Structure 1
């Protein structure tokens, strides 16, 4: 048997703002944007060079979802972007205005730095050694 993690939902305040951030600041690919009617869309974005694992951008609907924007993991880092060149991607993200909470640091597993998307979600940029 073979299974893969296809997508993870990320609740965002606005589809288009999220698409703009992930595609313009992080160079993700917009792989699907399908109108489902009633203001809902099926929006998938994927990291550059990725052949599996996408974000399903879901516009918050209602008070519970609005409250979850930026805090889906209770303030913990909940998303991990792996790179094959940490220095390159860190420098590019900084040049595009991505907010890093810390300077890069080396851990036993590799290089890491925590950053936030504009919606408050905490991410790690990682390069494993």
Structure 2
């Protein structure tokens, strides 16, 4: 048996603003943007080279969902963006205005730094040791 984690939902306040952030600031690719009617869209973005897993950008549809924007994991790092060149991507993201919460650090498993996306969700930018 083979299974794949294909989508992870990130609740956002505006589709176009979210697409701009994930594609410009984080360098993701827009994989799909399909109008579903009634103001809803099916929007998938993914890091370049990602073959199976995408983020599904889902616009909040009620107060309960709006309250979760940016805090889907209770303030913990909830997303891990693995790269083959930490320093290249860190520099590019800084130049795009991405907010890093710490300086890069070397750990036993690799190089890492925590950043926030447009909504405040915490991410690790991570390059694993080979």
Same fold by TM-score greater than 0.5: yes
Q: Deviations over 1:6-32 (max 9, x none)?
A: 010000111100000011112211111
Instruction: Report the alpha carbon displacement of residue 4 of structure 1 after superposing the two structures with TM.
Output: 1.1
What is the alpha-carbon root mean square deviation over aligned residues?
0.7
Counterpart check, 1:101 vs 2:104? no
What TM-score results when the alignment is normalised by the length of structure 1? Answer: 0.98
Distance 1:11 1:106 in 2: 31
* Ranges in structure 2 where 5+ consecutive residues have no aligned partner: none
Displacement of 1:69: 0.1
Q: Which runs of 5+ in 1 are unaligned?
A: none
- Write the mapping of 1:51-70 to structure 2, written as runs, cut at 5 A: 51-70=51-70
Query: How many correspondences in the alignment?
Result: 129
TM-score (norm 2): 0.97
* Structure 1 residue runs of 4 or more that deviate by more than 4 Å after TM superposition: none
Q: What does residue range 1-129 of structure 1 map to in structure 2 within 5 Å?
A: 1-129=1-129
Q: Cα distance, 1:58 vs. partner? A: 0.2
CA distance in 1, matches of 2:127, 2:53: 17
